[in-house]
């Protein structure tokens, strides 16, 4: 890009953002260019507290995103890292709520976002650089020319859970990482590999109590361990090996005891109600017995629990579910 083209792009970015938001808000965005960490905090608060907030998109999110991707190489080093984190967050929200009216508008910026990230020196993007690329992967075909370029960039980056997850999201082969000693790398690889080996690895990592923290802090900072459980139960589990089957049959009770609430997806695997029968009667009874015995699931007649049980074709009252479990064990 020539110096004249660069200047025009910058001028257009400022003209558009000045027309879209108030002058005090523009002044906050100007702080992203100044190399002053004290002032930068105000700009960061604006990005994460006003331009988006607690997973909610607004009418100003689009012009702020356009401004950020046009000016990405103009920000101070520290500001660049924060903006990359913010871009990753916006991509994750759009991915999780694609029907949101603002998400539909923002989706149209996908090519511009990815091109801006690729044009940026990866080192300036900080640890969230690859995660930002991964968060915007869901809108491209693996055979797109842009996808090839992103995968090439990701392969140049140091291997960690976030990088492997982004590679998989962009259609890259993650099978080489299934046996990694790093739990984050192994988890990300298994999540994106639907082969028998990938499924076996996914069962194995979900059996590790450290996986929740690894997933939510390293791989998908805006995700939940529930996403991993849902990915597992969506796969064809009928032909898994005996060793994996034994571990799978213990997994629902384990997850219920270790994690916050990713137990509901396992109802799809039980052999009664609306389940598909992947779990045998003994494993189903153990799982439902654990549900009955978990007081937190029944506190104040928890509607999440009763709705999940109804959807699964099971009794929604604790008393009736306990009777069912007893009959299965008799």
Q: Show the DSSP H helices in 140-269 as ranges.
A: 145-156, 161-169, 183-191, 196-206, 211-214, 225-233, 242-258
Neighbours of 227 (CB within 10 A): 17
> Can you give the pLDDT at residue 7?
76
> Can you give the pLDDT at residue 126?
79
> Can you give the pLDDT at residue 19?
87
> Can you give the pLDDT at residue 91?
93
> Can you give the pLDDT at residue 65?
96
> Can you give the pLDDT at residue 96?
87
pLDDT above 80: residue 125 = no
Q: How confident is the model at residue 267 (pLDDT cuts 50, 70, 90)?
A: very high
> Can you give the pLDDT at residue 51?
95
Angstrom distance (rounded) from CA 277 to CA 270: 5
Report whether 188 contacts 168 (CB < 8 A).
yes
Global pTM reads 0.87
Report, in this order, helix, strand and coil percent for the chain, each rounded to 5. 70, 0, 30
pLDDT above 90: residue 216 = no
Model confidence over 55-70: pLDDT tens digits?
899 999 999 999 999 9
Share of residues in the chain with pLDDT > 70 (%): 97
Model confidence over 8-50: pLDDT tens digits?
777 778 888 898 889 999 998 998 987 665 679 999 999 999 9
Angstrom distance (rounded) from CA 209 to CA 9: 49
Place of tokens 């007893």: 326
CA 189 to chain centre: 14
> Can you give the pLDDT at residue 238?
85
Angstrom distance (rounded) from CA 214 to CA 223: 11
Report whether 268 contacts 238 (CB < 8 A).
no
Give me the phi and psi of 57, to 5 degrees please.
Answer: -95, 155
What is the DSSP-derived secondary structure letter of residue 123? G
Model confidence over 301-319: pLDDT tens digits?
889 999 999 999 999 999 9
Least confident range from 229-238, 262-271, 297-306, 316-325: namely 297-306
Of 56, 121, 127, nearest to 90 by C-alpha is 56
Report whether 51 contacts 60 (CB < 8 A).
yes
Q: How many residues does the chain have?
A: 330
pLDDT above 70: residue 144 = yes
pLDDT above 70: residue 271 = yes
Model confidence over 88-119: pLDDT tens digits?
999 999 988 999 999 999 999 999 999 999 99
Report whether 91 contacts 113 (CB < 8 A).
yes
In the predicted model, what is the mean pLDDT of the chain?
A: 91
Model confidence over 68-78: pLDDT tens digits?
999 998 898 88
pLDDT above 90: residue 158 = no
> Can you give the pLDDT at residue 261?
61
Angstrom distance (rounded) from CA 283 to CA 141: 39
- CA 142 vs CA 58, 81, 237: distances in Å: 30, 27, 25
Q: Spell out the residues 6+ positions from residue 181 whose beta carbon is closer than 8 angstroms to its own.
A: none
* DSSP codes, 107-139: HTTHHHHHHHHHHS-GGGGGGGHHHHHHHTGGG
> Can you give the pLDDT at residue 100?
95
What is the DSSP-derived secondary structure letter of residue 159? P
> Can you give the pLDDT at residue 142?
85
- Measured over the CA atoms of residue 209, residue 211, residue 285 and residue 291, the dihedral's sign is positive
Give me the phi and psi of 52, to 5 degrees please.
Answer: -140, 160
């Amino acid at each position: 890009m020539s110096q004249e083209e660069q200047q025009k792009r910058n001028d257009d970015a400022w003209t558009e953002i000045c027309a879209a938001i108030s002058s005090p808000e523009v002044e906050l965005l100007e702080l992203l260019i100044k190399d002053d960490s004290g002032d930068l905090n105000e700009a960061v608060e604006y990005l994460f507290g006003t331009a988006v907030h607690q997973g909610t998109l607004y009418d100003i999110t689009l012009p702020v995103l356009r401004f950020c991707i046009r000016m990405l190489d103009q920000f101070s080093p520290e500001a660049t890292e924060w903006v990359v984190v913010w871009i990753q967050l916006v991509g994750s929200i759009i991915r999780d709520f694609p029907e949101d009216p603002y998400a539909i508008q923002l989706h149209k910026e996908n090519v511009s976002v990815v091109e801006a990230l690729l044009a940026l020196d990866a080192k300036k993007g900080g640890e969230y650089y690859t995660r930002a690329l991964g968060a915007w992967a869901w809108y491209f075909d693996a055979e797109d020319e842009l996808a090839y370029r992103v995968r090439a960039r990701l392969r140049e980056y140091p291997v960690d859970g976030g990088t492997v997850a982004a590679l998989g999201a962009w259609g890259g082969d993650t099978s080489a990482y299934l046996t990694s000693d790093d739990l984050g790398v192994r988890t990300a690889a298994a999540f994106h590999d639907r082969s028998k080996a990938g499924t076996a690895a996914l069962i194995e990592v979900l059996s590790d109590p450290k996986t929740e923290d690894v997933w939510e802090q390293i791989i998908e900072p805006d995700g939940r361990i529930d996403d991993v459980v849902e990915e597992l139960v969506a796969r064809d589990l009928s032909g898994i090996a005996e060793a994996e089957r034994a571990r799978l049959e213990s997994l629902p009770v384990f997850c219920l005891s270790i994690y916050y609430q990713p137990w509901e997806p396992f109802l799809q695997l039980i052999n009664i109600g609306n389940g598909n029968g992947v779990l045998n009667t003994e494993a189903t009874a153990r799982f439902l017995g654990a549900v009955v015995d978990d007081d937190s699931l029944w506190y104040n007649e928890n509607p999440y629990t009763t709705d999940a049980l109804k959807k699964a074709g099971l009794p929604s009252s604790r008393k009736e579910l306990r009777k069912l479990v007893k009959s299965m064990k008799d």
